[in-house]
Amino acid sequence: MAGIYIHIPFCKKACHYCNFHFSTTTYYRDEMLEAINKELVLQQSYLHNQTIHTIYFGGGTPSILPAGAIQTLLQTIREHYNVAPSPEITLEANPDDLLPGKLQELFDAGINRLSIGVQSFFEDDLQWMNRAHNADQALRCLQDAQRIGFSNISIDLIYGGPTLTDEAWKQNVHQAFALNIPHLSCYALTVEPGTALDHFINKKKIPAIDPDKAAKHFEMLMNWVEEAGYEHYEISNYAKPGMHSQHNSSYWKGMPYLGVGPSAHSYDGNSRQWNVANNQLYMQSIRQDTVPAEVETLSPAMKFNEYMMISLRTSRGTDLAYISEHFGEALRLDIETGSKPFITKGWMTTDGHFLRLTKEGKFFADGIAAEFFMED
Ligand code: SF4
């Protein structure tokens, strides 16, 4: 069981908080698509013919592409990989791209899950973020997508931002509930170095992010989603029963995946590799039949630290039998001992088989995981 991720490195506008790899110049779009198609062929043995259960178009903004281009990429995957009969095929999309005609074409091309970058249903939030869409487009694209037949929809929302009041945050989340959106990905606004947001905060054009506000929004969110029947299955992800993201869940379970396109990462169970995050260098290299990737073989300590970091963020938790089997019984015992202070504080629980974060513990997820890290 494996997945394929395709990175489409183009966006209409640069959102002020974003540090992903993308370009707002699209004149070489067709050349890039040719390169990504070719990389899919060059990398066809990476997953050793394992069955592909999930395909994920991310970016950047994949919805910027015509549906025909998505169809061509899917065709290349089907010709060169062993694809399961009904794979989950997700497209990340922005509301301004999702007009009814385009939605229908994407549906017909085989996209069966949309992950839509709504971020907020309020104009003042969207404006400081420099999003390409407005609040009305955010609402209408969701209604149109559902009318056309997309039932598996996720939306991204950002909390803790400078213009987002507690009441507006409540309205954002409850708007998603009212629209019957089965999956939410909600992120605290973070200031990444070098972004426009970082610059504006340094210049005092935007107030600094208030961590207490973000923590309050997170707490409010956890209560609302619980009441509304969503499972908080990963620290930033909430789903109605049966509506988890299969693609992201397979990352969290440590399944192998191939990432194609500039800056895309791949994992084969033992090593990670990542493509150059530069569109021109990527295309040049692929033209010469070489995948421009750096490779890192994971040491046992790296694998363990990664497992702790990821597993503690999920509702399934850290599987003590898995630790014992893959890293040794001594480490399992260390972890049980190390978890005791957190259990006493009320930040962790255990049933003897799994360690899980409590609601309180989720505020400190990364810090708690780091306390268990091993050194090489
Ligand atoms: S659309 Fe997405 S990838 Fe593009 S700049 Fe905005 S947040 Fe970043």
Mutation choice for ligand 1 from 7, 13, 16, 20, CB with most ligand atoms inside 8 A: 20
Provide the whole-model pTM.
0.96
- Mean pLDDT in residue range 25-31: 96
Contacts of 320 (CB under 8 A, 6+ apart): 332, 335, 336, 350, 352, 353, 354, 355
Cα of 317 vs centre of ligand 1, distance in Å, is: 30
Contact 230, 184 (CB under 8 A): yes
Domain with CATH 3.20.20.70 in the chain: 2-252
Q: What is the C-alpha separation between 234 and 187, in angstroms, rounded?
A: 11
Say how many C-beta atoms besides its own lie within 10 A of residue 107's C-beta. 16
- Mean pLDDT in residue range 182-188: 98
Cα of 18 vs centre of ligand 1, distance in Å, is: 6
What tokens were used for 12? 């209409």
User: Does residue 375 carry a pLDDT above 90?
Assistant: no
Cα of 11 vs centre of ligand 1, distance in Å, is: 6
* pLDDT reported for residue 376: 81
Q: Topology of domain 300-370, per CATH?
A: Arc Repressor Mutant, subunit A (1.10.10)
What tokens were used for 83? 């694809």
- Mean pLDDT in residue range 348-362: 97
* pLDDT reported for residue 349: 98
Q: In what order do the strands lie in the sheet with 354-357?
A: 318-319, 354-357, 348-350
Q: How open is the CA angle 59-62-68, to the nearest 5 degrees? A: 150
Q: Which atom of ligand 1 is nearest to the CA of 11?
A: 4
Cα of 201 vs centre of ligand 1, distance in Å, is: 19
Domain with CATH 1.10.10 in the chain: 300-370
Q: For domain 2-252, give the CATH number.
A: 3.20.20.70
Cα of 30 vs centre of ligand 1, distance in Å, is: 20
Give the H or E element holding residue 234.
Answer: strand 231-234
Cα of 14 vs centre of ligand 1, distance in Å, is: 6
Closest C-alpha to ligand 1, atom 6 = 15
Mutation choice for ligand 1 from 6, 7, 8, 11, CB with most ligand atoms inside 8 A: 11
Ligand 1 pocket by Cβ (under 6 Å): 11, 14-15, 18, 20, 22, 59-61, 94, 117
- Mean pLDDT in residue range 7-28: 96
208-244 tens-digit pLDDT: 999 999 999 999 999 999 999 999 999 999 999 999 9
Q: What is the C-alpha separation between 65 and 288, in angstroms, rounded?
A: 25
Cα of 20 vs centre of ligand 1, distance in Å, is: 7
User: Does residue 322 carry a pLDDT above 90?
Assistant: yes
63-91 tens-digit pLDDT: 999 999 999 999 999 999 999 999 999 99
